[in-house]
C-alpha cells in the first residue's frame, strides 16, 4: 500500500502475517558524486551512534535492549549511479512483544534522524573523531580480504579515472582527511532536506496506523530531480590489463565485461538466464567446466550488475594457470555465443532462478529491497517473473552473450 507523506517522501506498507518480526527501511537517495560517498558513510555512522537524548552509543544501545533487542542501524549502498543511505530497523512485532513496540521504535528512529548530536553547528567532537577513525580502519580492513581487494582493483581498471562509479559506495580513506565535525553538518542537512526519501514497512501491521505513525516524522516536502540509476560507458579500444604481486597463496584472476543489459529492460531476464549459464549458478559453464572438470579454480563465478551495464568474473586459481584459465573462460563464452549448451542446461538454470525468486519471498530484506527499487524507480509491479524467466529462449541467451565485450583483466599473483 502506497502513501505520499510529503513531496519526495513516500511510504510503502507491506502487511503480512508471515513473519514474527517487523521490518522498517528508510532510504535516502541522491546521485553519487566523486566526493559524497565517504561523507555520507561517515554521517550514517555518526547518526547510528548517538543522539541528543541518547548521547553515547551505550545509552542508545541500552534503549534498544529495552525494546526487545530491536536492531536499528544505518549503512550505505548504491543503485548504479545513485548513492543511498539506509536506516534499517528489525524488531519483534507488537503481538509477540505484547506492547506498542512499533511506536517506540519509530520514536527512536525520529531521535536518530532528526535529533543527532549536533550543537552549535557541529557534530560532537570526540564522537566524530572516533567514528572517523573507525571508518578508516574498517575500510582498510575490507581490503585485507584478497577477493574483495582484487574485485576493487578490477573496478578501478574498468571505470575511467573521472567516473564516480570508481568510488565504492562506502567511500575511500583518502577523503576522510577533508571531513570535519563542521562540514559534515551540511551533508546531514542536504540528506534530510533534499534527498528522495522512501520508507518501507513490512510485517503484521495495520497500514493506516503505520501511515499515521510515520506522518509524525518531521519530513518536509522537497523537489527531487529525476533520478537516473543506469550507467553507460563507451568501449576501450584495448583491454585494460594489470597484474599485481603480493604474498598470497591463492591467486585471483578477475575479468570485467561491458554488458548493456539493465534492470527490467527488454533483455533483463535473458541477461539473468545468460549469467546463470555463464557463471551465476552452480549449473553454469564456469562452475562445471573450469572448476569441476578442469579443477582449475576453487571458485569461478560471474555476476551481472544490472544498473552498471557490467558483468564481472571472479576466480581463485593457481598463478601459473592464469593464462589457461583466461582462455578457458573465453571458450565458455564462445560456446554460449555459438549456442553450445543443451536444453537441459538452460532449463536447469531457469528452474534455479525461479526457485531463488520464489524463495526470496521468505526473506524480509529481499522483499523490501525489491519493493524499494520498484517504488524508487517508478517501475511497474513485476508480475509473472517465473513465466518471464521460462520464456527466455536459447536464441535470447546467444544474443546477450554476443553483446559481451571484455574490457579489463586483473591478476593478483603470489609469484614474481
Partner 1 sequence: MDQYTYQEFNRTIYRQRLANGLLVQLLPMPGFHKTYATFSTDFGSIDNQFIPYHEEGAVTVPDGVAHFLEHKMFEKADHDAFDLFGKLGADSNAYTSFTQTSYLFSTTSHLRENLDVLLDFVQDPYFTDKTVAKEQGIIGQEIQMYDDDADWRLYLGLIGNLYPHDPMRIDIAGTVDSISKITPQILMQSYRTFYQPSNMNLFLVGNLDPAETMEWVIDNQNGKDFPTPETPRRLTKLNDPTAHDVIPFRSLTMNIARPKVMVGLRGIKQFEDGRERLRYKLAVDLLLDVLFDDTSDNYLRLYNNEVLDDSFGYNFEMQRGFHFAYFSSNTDQMERFADEIVAILESADKQIDAARTRFAGIKNAELGRLIGLLDSPEAIANRYADKLFDGANLMDEIRLLKEISIEDLYRVAKEFITPQGISVYQVVPHHQ
Residue 302, C-beta contacts closer than 8 angstroms, at least 6 positions apart: 275, 278, 279, 280, 284, 286, 311, 312, 313, 314
- For residue 406, the Cα-to-chain-centroid distance in whole angstroms is 24
Stretch that binds partner 1, among 143-151, 193-201, 330-338, 391-399 (CB under 8 A): 143-151
Task: List the one residue from 172, 243, 250, 390 that touches partner 1 (CB under 8 A).
Answer: 250
Query: Is residue 294 involved in binding partner 1 (CB under 8 A)?
Result: no
Rounded Cα–Cα distance for residues 25 and 363 (Å): 14
Query: Is residue 202 involved in binding partner 1 (CB under 8 A)?
Result: no
Considering the complex, state which of residue 71 and residue 114 has its C-beta at the smaller distance from partner 1. 71
Check: CB of residue 195 under 8 Å from CB of residue 28: yes
Least Cβ distance, residue 302 to partner 1 (angstroms): 17
Query: Is residue 237 involved in binding partner 1 (CB under 8 A)?
Result: no
Considering the complex, state which of residue 209 and residue 293 has its C-beta at the smaller distance from partner 1. 293
Query: Is residue 125 involved in binding partner 1 (CB under 8 A)?
Result: no
Number of Cβ atoms within 10 Å of the Cβ of 222: 15
Task: List the one residue from 1, 2, 4, 61 that touches partner 1 (CB under 8 A).
Answer: 61
Least Cβ distance, residue 266 to partner 1 (angstroms): 25
Check: CB of residue 42 under 8 Å from CB of residue 181: no
Considering the complex, state which of residue 232 and residue 293 has its C-beta at the smaller distance from partner 1. 293
Strands 82-92 and 71-79: antiparallel
Least Cβ distance, residue 359 to partner 1 (angstroms): 4
Considering the complex, state which of residue 195 and residue 321 has its C-beta at the smaller distance from partner 1. 321
Least Cβ distance, residue 319 to partner 1 (angstroms): 12
**Which three cell numbers, joined as nine digits, stand for 156?**
578501478
Check: CB of residue 5 under 8 Å from CB of residue 199: yes
DSSP string, 161-230: TT-GGGS-TT--HHHHTT--TTTHHHHHHHHHHHSEEEEEEEES--HHHHHHHHHTS-PPP---PPP---
Rounded Cα–Cα distance for residues 21 and 29 (Å): 26
Query: Is residue 176 involved in binding partner 1 (CB under 8 A)?
Result: no
Query: Is residue 66 involved in binding partner 1 (CB under 8 A)?
Result: yes
Query: Is residue 21 involved in binding partner 1 (CB under 8 A)?
Result: yes
Considering the complex, state which of residue 172 and residue 194 has its C-beta at the smaller distance from partner 1. 172
Query: Is residue 355 involved in binding partner 1 (CB under 8 A)?
Result: yes
3-state secondary structure 16-78: CCCCCEEEEEEEEEEECCCCHHHHHHHHHHHHHHCECCCCCHHHHHHHHHHCCCCEEEEEEEE
Stretch that binds partner 1, among 134-142, 164-172, 179-187, 323-331 (CB under 8 A): 134-142
Query: Is residue 225 involved in binding partner 1 (CB under 8 A)?
Result: no
**Which three cell numbers, joined as nine digits, stand for 3?**
502513501
Task: List the one residue from 145, 206, 244, 415 that touches partner 1 (CB under 8 A).
Answer: 145
Check: CB of residue 337 under 8 Å from CB of residue 398: yes
Query: Is residue 351 involved in binding partner 1 (CB under 8 A)?
Result: yes
Stretch that binds partner 1, among 126-134, 215-223, 259-267, 300-308 (CB under 8 A): 126-134
The DSSP symbol for 380 reads: P
* Footprint on residues 358-377 left by partner 1 (CB under 8 A): 358-359, 361-362, 364
Q: Which residues of 34-68 are buried (b: 16+ CB within 10 A; e: fewer)?
A: ebbbbbbbbbbbbbbbbbeebeeeeebeebbeebb
Query: Is residue 394 involved in binding partner 1 (CB under 8 A)?
Result: no
Query: Is residue 342 involved in binding partner 1 (CB under 8 A)?
Result: no
Least Cβ distance, residue 30 to partner 1 (angstroms): 25
Query: Is residue 96 involved in binding partner 1 (CB under 8 A)?
Result: yes
Query: Is residue 130 involved in binding partner 1 (CB under 8 A)?
Result: yes
Stretch that binds partner 1, among 6-14, 174-182, 254-262, 355-363 (CB under 8 A): 355-363
Per DSSP, what are the bridge partners of residue 413? 245
Rounded Cα–Cα distance for residues 212 and 245 (Å): 58
Considering the complex, state which of residue 66 and residue 209 has its C-beta at the smaller distance from partner 1. 66
Judged by the rule CB under 8 A, the positions of this chain that interact with partner 1 are 16-21, 56-58, 61-62, 64-70, 90-92, 96, 126, 130, 133-134, 137-138, 140-141, 143-146, 246-250, 282-283, 295, 297-298, 316, 318, 344, 348, 351-352, 354-356, 358-359, 361-362, 364
Amino acid at each position: 500500500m502506497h502513501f505520499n507523506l510529503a513531496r519526495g517522501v513516500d511510504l510503502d506498507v507491506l502487511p503480512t502475517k508471515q513473519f514474527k518480526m517487523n521490518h522498517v527501511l528508510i532510504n535516502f537517495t541522491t546521485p553519487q558524486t566523486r566526493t559524497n560517498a565517504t561523507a555520507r558513510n561517515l554521517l550514517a555512522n555518526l547518526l547510528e551512534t548517538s543522539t541528543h537524548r541518547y548521547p553515547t552509543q551505550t545509552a542508545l544501545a541500552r534503549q534498544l535492549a529495552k525494546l526487545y533487542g530491536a536492531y536499528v542501524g544505518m549503512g550505505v549502498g548504491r543503485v548504479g549511479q545513485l548513492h543511498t543511505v539506509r536506516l534499517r530497523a528489525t524488531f519483534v512485532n507488537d503481538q509477540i512483544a505484547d506492547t506498542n513496540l512499533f511506536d517506540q521504535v519509530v520514536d527512536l528512529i525520529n531521535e536518530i534522524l532528526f535529533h543527532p548530536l549536533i550543537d552549535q553547528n557541529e557534530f560532537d567532537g570526540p564522537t566524530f573523531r572516533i567514528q572517523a577513525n573507525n571508518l578508516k580502519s574498517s575500510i582498510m580492513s575490507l581490503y585485507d580480504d584478497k577477493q574483495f581487494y582484487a574485485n576493487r582493483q578490477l573496478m578501478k581498471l574498468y571505470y575511467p579515472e573521472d567516473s564516480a562509479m570508481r568510488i565504492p559506495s562506502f567511500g575511500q580513506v583518502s577523503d576522510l582527511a577533508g571531513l570535519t565535525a563542521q562540514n559534515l553538518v551540511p551533508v546531514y542537512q542536504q540528506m534530510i532536506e533534499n534527498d528522495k526519501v522512501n520508507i518501507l514497512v513490512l510485517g503484521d501491521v495495520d497500514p493506516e496506523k503505520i501511515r499515521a505513525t510515520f506522518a509524525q516524522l518531521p519530513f518536509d516536502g522537497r523537489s527531487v530531480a529525476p533520478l537516473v540509476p543506469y550507467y553507460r560507458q563507451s568501449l576501450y579500444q584495448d583491454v585494460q590489463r594489470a597484474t599485481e604481486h603480493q604474498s598470497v597463496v591463492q591467486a585471483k584472476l578477475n575479468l570485467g565485461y561491458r554488458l548493456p543489459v539493465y534492470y527490467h529492460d527488454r533483455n533483463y531476464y535473458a541477461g539473468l538466464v545468460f549469467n546463470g549459464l555463464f557463471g551465476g549458478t552452480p549449473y553454469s559453464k564456469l562452475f562445471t567446466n573450469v572448476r569441476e572438470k578442469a579443477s582449475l579454480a576453487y571458485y569461478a563465478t560471474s555476476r551481472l550488475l544490472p544498473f552498471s551495464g557490467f558483468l564481472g568474473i571472479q576466480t581463485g586459481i593457481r598463478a601459473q594457470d592464469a593464462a589457461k584459465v583466461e582462455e578457458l573462460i573465453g571458450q565458455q563464452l564462445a560456446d554460449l555465443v555459438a549456442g553450445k549448451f543443451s536444453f537441459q542446461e538452460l532449463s536447469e538454470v531457469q528452474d534455479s532462478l525461479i526457485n531463488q525468486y520464489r524463495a526470496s519471498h521468505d526473506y524480509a530484506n529481499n522483499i523490501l529491497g525489491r519493493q524499494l527499487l520498484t517504488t524508487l524507480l517508478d517501475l511497474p509491479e513485476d508480475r509473472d517473473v517465473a513465466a518471464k524467466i521460462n520464456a527466455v529462449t536459447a536464441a535470447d541467451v546467444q544474443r546477450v552473450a554476443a553483446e559481451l565485450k571484455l574490457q579489463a583483466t586483473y591478476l593478483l599473483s603470489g609469484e614474481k
